[in-house]
Structure 1
């Protein structure tokens, strides 16, 4: 029964992403209406903070996000339950977009799409819950401990936010990761007793981002 529940919630979210994404790819007006855009949100279209997380730029963008979600979602649901998984998913999505809004609030033209913030939040929840898990990357022949990947990913996101040399929404990824990190700890405070060292290690990039922002060295 638990496995069925896990499969259902994962597939429902993937299906919702698929329906919205393919609709957006076929209908430009739909895509433009629901994508993340600073100017539109400031004009009162807050629905974009949520709807943009169900749109994708192309098939590969959609597939990568959903494959990652499928790979890590079940572990989170198994430990925290379906309802808490849903909270983590949507909290990470919103938190990622809020961080993007914060960093780009004066760039009225700035737009973004994708479930990356939500998916990254689920990924970080999984790492917190099972820090000893190993991740396999196709370009690295050895398994990477989950917490090492988590720290490295956030540090890379800070680098991307600072250099602004690509079209990747690093701030949304970072915000989603922080959302998953914080919400998971609120839901399962016992992690402070069992995984305190890993919690501290994963907090290092968050502290670095805060210091860089406060000292004006992020831009």
Structure 2
């Protein structure tokens, strides 16, 4: 249920921001304004804003594909709604920390989108079901345990290469958070992961 609420709220706010530049600017992640003006809400609000319809649709489709499963899994394991929201919003914050430090003096740097949070959800699903299939390029099914390392290597490569408008740091750190978070919540879950092998 929470996954559908997040998708609905994100879709509405993103849609409004497509034509409301003032609101877009107030919600976008600006490390400079976050630190200098104490606008810490931006660590969360930027996840409700997307650059365009394609960005929004891809993120929300991915969240729907994995979030419903993970939300149910957290309920089943007794980690509850709070545990799931901690994954999603914690992933959003964790994915932003690197850029917060790196760009805190860059007035012009901006970032939007829920990619860090969604990477966290996706990688938690790999943690729980490492041999579950993920569609590479939305076509080729490969096991999550293979997709995960390839994805992390790709993110690091693209980040070093530079250019483009995709925040590969957010993807990378959100993914790492998604692997670590379940173990922090319940250390015994490492046995669940290992038992899948």
Q: TM-score normalized by structure 1? A: 0.81
- Alignment-derived partner of residue 78 in structure 2: none
Which of 57, 66, 80 lines up with 2:60 in the alignment?
Answer: 66
- Alignment-derived partner of residue 27 in structure 1: 20
- Alignment-derived partner of residue 40 in structure 2: 46
1-side partners of 2:111 and 2:93: how far apart? 13
- Alignment-derived partner of residue 208 in structure 1: none
Structure 1 residue ranges without an equivalent (≥5): 1-7, 200-219
1:76-101: CA deviation from partner (whole Å, max 9, x where unpaired):
12221233111100100011111221
- Alignment-derived partner of residue 163 in structure 1: 161
Task: Determine if contact 2:132/2:144 at 8 Å carries over to the other structure.
Answer: yes
Task: Determine if contact 2:43/2:93 at 8 Å carries over to the other structure.
Answer: yes
2-side partners of 1:163 and 1:138: how far apart? 20
- Which residues in structure 2 correspond to 1:112-123 (within 5 Å)? 112-123=111-122
1:24-53: CA deviation from partner (whole Å, max 9, x where unpaired):
112111101110112211221111111111
Task: Determine if contact 1:92/1:117 at 8 Å carries over to the other structure.
Answer: yes
Structure 2 residue ranges without an equivalent (≥5): 76-80
Cα distance change, pair 161–103 in 1 and its aligned pair in 2 (3 A): farther
2-side partners of 1:103 and 1:150: how far apart? 25
- Alignment-derived partner of residue 214 in structure 1: none
What is the count of residue pairs matched by the alignment?
191
* RMSD over equivalenced CA pairs, Å: 1.9
Cα distance change, pair 133–139 in 1 and its aligned pair in 2 (3 A): closer
Cα distance, 1:182 vs structure 2? 1.5
Task: Determine if contact 2:50/2:112 at 8 Å carries over to the other structure.
Answer: yes
2-side partners of 1:93 and 1:188: how far apart? 20
Greater alpha carbon shift after TM alignment, 101-110 vs 65-74 = 101-110
Q: TM-score normalized by structure 2? A: 0.90
1:179-214: CA deviation from partner (whole Å, max 9, x where unpaired):
222211112322322424989xxxxxxxxxxxxxxx
Cα distance change, pair 39–105 in 1 and its aligned pair in 2 (3 A): closer
- Alignment-derived partner of residue 127 in structure 1: 126
2-side partners of 1:139 and 1:96: how far apart? 24
Task: Determine if contact 2:32/2:103 at 8 Å carries over to the other structure.
Answer: no
- Alignment-derived partner of residue 174 in structure 1: 172
- Alignment-derived partner of residue 57 in structure 1: 51
Cα distance, 1:104 vs structure 2? 2.6
